[in-house]
Amino acid sequence: MSGTLGIAVIGTGRMGADHVRRIDRVISGARVAAVADPDGDRVKEIAAGIEGCAAFTDPSAALAAPGVDAVLIASPGPAHEATVLEALGRELPVLCEKPLTPDPGGALRIMEAEQRLGRRLVQVGFMRRHDAEYERLKSLLDAGELGRPLFLHCRHRNASSPSFFTTEMLVNDSVVHEVDAARWLLGQEVTAVTVLSPTSSAAAPEGLRDPQFILLETSGGALVDVEIFVNCGFGYQVVCEAVGESGSARIGDGQSVLVQSRGRWGGEITQDYTVRFADAYDRQVRRWVEATRRGEVTGPGAWDGYAAAAVSEAGVTAQRTGVRTEVSLAPKPALYA
């Protein structure tokens, strides 16, 4: 594609609005051609600030709008499948925020649609794969500098959770990032999940089991442990330490400016994922635009979205039953080999 890529952004909540800003002001080679959101006032306000951008309350109308060459989906997870399938029906490249679908069955249907087309068009928004620290850790592991990987120790903390957050979402909305990161870093599939819960924090809303400790087993014999704590109160932290047979490496310590004043020293703790991973989101969208203009898909695809959904499903079962739960994966189609 030689011209500017016209993108329809579906969903203009916090993440979608940030992507609209990114495409309009940060990314070259692309423009926002259309936006869609059920909130008609909000979507009109967003479109009003962008020349040539059409506003819709119906995603289908946005996909059919003139000048739309590709789709970025940032709507709630349960709405993803229908929009992705319609985009594939129009043979439009897609960048879909995680989760691809909340359940593995939906992701399988998306893979079936891609296979009928005979080519990949879907990329999933697992932005940690585009973070500079994660990329460095991946290169260390791939080069064998740490030896055979044995453990990944992960911490995932949020200052507070939104009012709609459920216990299941600790797994399928938060830890799903660690699931994809572990699969990518190790080059292994997750085969089983165990979930342990301490006494809930006093800061957790009533009915929310927070924090939790999640253990993932992998096909290569490594173990991944995740502390997920979505009401820690003090900020946003994502830390990952890889331990191999001959070394270890840790990312996410967030070393910023060190201040010494009035008998104290310290730094700043990031409060928000859009700040911590701002560069990763920029690189993700930029790379997607560049690959799409070349007619390629280079990031995590529908198979990765499916695998993450299958692990999440097993994780929710383990969460509910307290029993170690094995992950069931369908055979990997040749299109995703």
User: Is 187 in the same domain as 325?
Assistant: yes
d(CA 80, CA 172): 14
User: Is 252 in the same domain as 153?
Assistant: yes
| Cβ atoms within 10 Å of 144's Cβ, excluding its own | 13
User: Is 72 in the same domain as 168?
Assistant: no
pLDDT digit string (tens) for 164-190?
Answer: 999 999 999 999 999 999 999 999 999
269/43: higher pLDDT: 43
User: Is 164 in the same domain as 200?
Assistant: yes
User: Is 141 in the same domain as 178?
Assistant: yes
User: Is 296 in the same domain as 157?
Assistant: no
pTM attached to this predicted model: 0.94
User: Is 180 in the same domain as 321?
Assistant: yes
The domain of 240 spans 129-276+309-336
**Residue 11's domain is classified under what CATH number?**
3.40.50.720
Does position 258 have pLDDT exceeding 80, yes or no?
no
Number of domains in the chain: 2
Does position 60 have pLDDT exceeding 80, yes or no?
yes
Find out whether 255 and 221 touch, Cβ atoms under 8 Å.
no
User: Is 118 in the same domain as 181?
Assistant: no
User: Is 133 in the same domain as 122?
Assistant: no
CA distances from 55 to 18, 27, 44, 92, 129 (A): 16, 21, 6, 19, 31
User: Is 212 in the same domain as 271?
Assistant: yes
pLDDT digit string (tens) for 73-130?
Answer: 999 999 999 999 999 999 999 999 999 999 999 999 999 999 999 999 999 999 999 9
User: Is 120 in the same domain as 268?
Assistant: no
**Residue 233's domain is classified under what CATH number?**
3.30.360.10
User: Is 179 in the same domain as 90?
Assistant: no
